[in-house]
């Protein structure tokens, strides 16, 4: 039987022991070196687990077992540079490590104390090699509250979590009156991180003070394409989310908590299971937690591939074993939720933030951020940006800071065009919004929304009509089919967008599209349908010229829409090497007739037969001379 933590005193004792342990690890006071590897999904896909095994192997081989530990931790956030290896106490960060690099790191760094320079991160602007994580621009402006301890602790080890402050907030909450806990969260100004931004404390306060069963449900059905905040938090520090759930459960009087997690996140689920088991074994979950009289149990339910289940009433239906179709509101879940009982549904990031508020106090949390949006927000930065990854920044950070300082700007010297926040429910923000401070209200005012935190950057090569069509395809696929505006309206909008991208659109289509978009927004039953037209409305708002170009000029300015673009060979640049012809799957490339030989060239130039071309782009990739372009 594992060590029991049954009273506040036992918890404090254990916490201080574990904290000491962690301090020694980071500071090197224990006289050891500690190798940690990122164990997030991104790095695991680049075989960080095999690299870890290799480290253990080599360490053993070299007889360093007493001096070196090897562990995995949660996501570092800087996914495009993974897999990461970090060495304490020096805090040396190696990136893009391969199995072949392990021996060198052990030999050079662990044994000889020489940093392996070639594996260090290179700042793209200054070209300087950077040894420590905190010196990298990507991390400089970040502030980790929801991601607390992610990338520091072994997410499968409760002792490391305890050493990083886990359950301090819970202990504090359990010593308080339930109402005082709600008040504390109200005072913090915390708003729901799932998208809509409803104040969390108010949501909790809606649950009636009755004797019937109540539930706290954690919404981990993160479905926005391009968003992986919740996954990383669950993978990096599941204990903090469980702690937040327990605090919420205590505040609303629930004795059971349900995690609803996407089935696409097996690692997150596994780590949650391990964390729950560890907590049950030491008495932190179950009856009479810490002697406070509070009983709480945690259950996991898996999604099964339906985006709409991120909508809280659809999620409840799914837990109840039904089709994930949203329910009309009222009644709100706080009154009539899971199995007809009062239920509070909170997002993963929201719950992960709660322990901080209890631990550090509402005032400290409220001191971060803007007037109406407090604290920090995690964003999944992706798309056409140098530093793809997960970032947590204080509310009020500007888009410019996010994209250029943290994100490192747009790759390949391309022009920034737009950033899509809020996924399929949000909208595009453009260069004119770059100095907008990120918070709930500012993003809405600018025509987008916070959403769950996906932030996809687009450059000049992205067609905004195509982007709108992409989101509409997604929504159309994911519409549950219950209410007619969403079921049929999204299909019709997609049809109009398809028409436009195929060059068959008319100006009347634009009118219809707008009218339909506005009506689907107001008429739909749930949030999914009500926000589905946002990508259309916002791109129409900012990029009307692109829509019109597709319709009137029959041109796709970004050369994306296949029907409205063509590949051409510049005959003066063509060396006549015929490499493109070999690679053409449609046999569309031929020698120009009559023959033409460009100045300084020896062979006749080629041309692309537009009628035969399938626009696969294979030729452009094979041409070494840059003679082929899209028009």
Q: Which positions from 229 through 288 interact with other proteins, judged by CB under 8 A?
A: 231-232, 263-266
What is the Cα–Cα distance from 506 to 342, expressed in whole angstroms?
A: 50
Site string for other proteins, 331-350 (x = CB under 8 A): --------x-----------
What is the Cα–Cα distance from 185 to 193, expressed in whole angstroms?
A: 14
Does position 444 interact with other proteins (CB under 8 A)? The reply is no
Of 271-279, 287-295, 317-325, 436-444, which part binds other proteins (CB under 8 A)? Answer: 317-325
Does position 413 interact with other proteins (CB under 8 A)? The reply is no
What is the Cα–Cα distance from 225 to 380, expressed in whole angstroms?
A: 10
Sole binder of other proteins in the list 7, 19, 56, 80 (CB under 8 A): 80
Sole binder of other proteins in the list 2, 209, 305, 504 (CB under 8 A): 305
Does position 523 interact with other proteins (CB under 8 A)? The reply is yes
- CB of residue 491 to other proteins, shortest distance in Å: 5
Site string for other proteins, 543-582 (x = CB under 8 A): ----------------------------------------
Does position 608 interact with other proteins (CB under 8 A)? The reply is no
Which three-class secondary structure state does DSSP give residue 31? coil
What is the Cα–Cα distance from 75 to 109, expressed in whole angstroms?
A: 23
| Cβ atoms 257, 215 nearer than 8 A | yes
Of 143-151, 288-296, 394-402, 475-483, which part binds other proteins (CB under 8 A)? Answer: 475-483
Using the minimum distance from each CB to other proteins, give the nearer residue, 159 or 222: 222
Sole binder of other proteins in the list 225, 286, 361, 598 (CB under 8 A): 225
| Cβ atoms 237, 74 nearer than 8 A | yes
Using the minimum distance from each CB to other proteins, give the nearer residue, 294 or 379: 379
Does position 389 interact with other proteins (CB under 8 A)? The reply is yes
The tokens for 342 are 């009062």
- CB of residue 321 to other proteins, shortest distance in Å: 3
Q: 134 vs 20, 107, 115, 566, CA distance in Å?
A: 22, 25, 17, 46
Does position 16 interact with other proteins (CB under 8 A)? The reply is no
| Cβ atoms 17, 9 nearer than 8 A | no
Sole binder of other proteins in the list 2, 16, 210, 522 (CB under 8 A): 522
Binding-site size for other proteins (CB under 8 A) equals 86
Does position 415 interact with other proteins (CB under 8 A)? The reply is no
Using the minimum distance from each CB to other proteins, give the nearer residue, 79 or 403: 79
The tokens for 432 are 């004119």
Does position 477 interact with other proteins (CB under 8 A)? The reply is yes
Does position 195 interact with other proteins (CB under 8 A)? The reply is no
Q: Cα torsion for 430, 433, 437, 441, to the nearest 10°? A: -80
Using the minimum distance from each CB to other proteins, give the nearer residue, 50 or 62: 50
| Cβ atoms 607, 571 nearer than 8 A | yes
Does position 147 interact with other proteins (CB under 8 A)? The reply is no
Of 34-73, which residues contact other proteins (CB under 8 A)? 41-42, 44-46
Does position 467 interact with other proteins (CB under 8 A)? The reply is yes
The HSE-up count of residue 339 (CA atoms within 13 Å, CB side) is: 10
Q: Please enumerate, as own/partner, the contacts of 604-612 that have beta carbons within 8 Å and a separation of 24 or more.
A: 604/576, 605/569, 605/571, 605/572, 605/574, 605/576, 606/569, 606/571, 606/574, 606/576, 606/578, 606/580, 606/581, 607/568, 607/569, 607/571, 608/566, 608/567, 608/568, 608/569, 610/566, 612/586, 612/587, 612/588
The tokens for 335 are 């009154």
Does position 318 interact with other proteins (CB under 8 A)? The reply is yes
Does position 324 interact with other proteins (CB under 8 A)? The reply is yes
| Cβ atoms 481, 308 nearer than 8 A | no
Of 24-32, 352-360, 371-379, 509-517, which part binds other proteins (CB under 8 A)? Answer: 509-517
Q: 149 vs 107, 143, 170, 548, CA distance in Å?
A: 29, 11, 16, 49
Does position 512 interact with other proteins (CB under 8 A)? The reply is yes
């Amino acid at each position: 039987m594992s060590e029991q933590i049954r009273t506040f005193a036992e918890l404090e004792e254990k916490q201080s022991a574990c904290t000491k342990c962690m301090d020694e690890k980071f500071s090197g006071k224990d006289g050891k070196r500690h190798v940690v590897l990122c164990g997030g999904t991104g790095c695991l896909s680049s075989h960080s687990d095999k690299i870890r095994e290799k480290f253990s192997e080599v360490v053993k081989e070299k007889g360093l077992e007493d001096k070196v530990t090897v562990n995995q931790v949660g996501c570092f956030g800087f996914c495009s540079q993974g897999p990461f290896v970090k060495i304490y106490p020096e805090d040396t960060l190696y990136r893009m490590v391969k199995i072949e690099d392990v021996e060198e790191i052990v030999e050079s760094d662990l044994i000889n104390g020489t940093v392996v320079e070639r594996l260090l991160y290179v700042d793209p602007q200054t070209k300087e090699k950077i040894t420590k994580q905190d010196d990298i621009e990507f991390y400089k402006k970040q502030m980790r509250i929801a991601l607390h301890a992610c990338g520091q602790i072994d997410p499968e080890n409760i002792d490391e979590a305890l050493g990083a402050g886990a359950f301090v907030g819970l202990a504090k909450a359990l010593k308080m009156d339930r109402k005082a806990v709600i008040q504390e969260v109200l005072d913090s100004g915390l708003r729901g991180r799932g998208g809509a931004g409803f104040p969390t404390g108010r949501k909790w306060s809606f649950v009636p003070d009755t004797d019937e069963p109540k539930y706290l449900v954690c919404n981990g059905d993160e479905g926005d394409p391009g968003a992986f905040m919740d996954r990383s938090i669950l993978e990096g520090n599941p204990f903090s989310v469980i702690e937040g759930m327990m605090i919420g459960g205590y505040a609303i009087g629930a004795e059971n908590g349900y995690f609803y997690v996407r089935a696409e996140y097996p690692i997150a689920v596994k780590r949650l299971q391990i964390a729950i088991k560890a907590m049950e074994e030491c008495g932190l979950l179950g009856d009479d937690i810490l002697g406070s009289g509070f009983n709480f149990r945690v259950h996991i339910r898996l999604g099964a591939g339906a985006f709409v289940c991120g909508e809280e009433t659809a999620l409840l239906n799914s837990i109840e074993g039904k089709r994930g179709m949203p329910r009309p509101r009222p009644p709100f879940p706080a009154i009539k939720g899971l199995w007809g009982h009062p239920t509070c549904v909170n997002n993963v990031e929201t719950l992960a933030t709660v322990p901080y508020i209890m631990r550090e106090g509402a005032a400290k949390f409220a001191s971060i951020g803007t007037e109406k949006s407090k604290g920090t927000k995690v964003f999944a930065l992706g798309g056409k940006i140098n530093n793809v990854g997960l970032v947590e920044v204080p509310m009020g950070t500007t888009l410019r800071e996010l994209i250029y300082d943290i994100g490192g700007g747009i790759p390949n010297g391309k022009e920034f065009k737009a950033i899509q926040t809020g996924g399929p429910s949000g909208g595009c923000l453009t260069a004119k919004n770059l100095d907008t401070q990120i918070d709930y209200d500012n993003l809405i005012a600018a025509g987008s929304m916070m959403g769950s935190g996906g932030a996809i950057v687009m450059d000049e090569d992205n067609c905004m009509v195509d982007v709108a069509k992409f989101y509409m395809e997604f929504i159309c696929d994911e519409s549950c089919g219950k209410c007619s505006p969403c079921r049929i309206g999204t299909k019709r909008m997609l049809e109009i967008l398809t028409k436009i991208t195929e060059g068959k659109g008319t100006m009347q289509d634009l009118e219809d599209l707008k009218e339909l978009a506005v009506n689907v927004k107001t008429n739909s039953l749930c949030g999914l349908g009500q926000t589905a037209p946002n990508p259309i409305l916002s791109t129409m708002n900012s990029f009307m010229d692109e829509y019109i170009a597709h319709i009137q000029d029959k041109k796709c300015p970004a050369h994306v829409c296949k029907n409205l673009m063509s590949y051409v060979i510049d005959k003066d640049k063509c060396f006549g090497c015929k490499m493109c012809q070999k690679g053409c799957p449609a046999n569309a490339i031929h020698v120009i007739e009559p023959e033409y030989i460009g100045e300084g060239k020896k062979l006749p130039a080629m041309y692309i037969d537009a009628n035969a071309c399938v626009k696969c782009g294979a030729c452009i990739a094979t041409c070494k001379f840059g003679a082929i372009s899209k028009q």
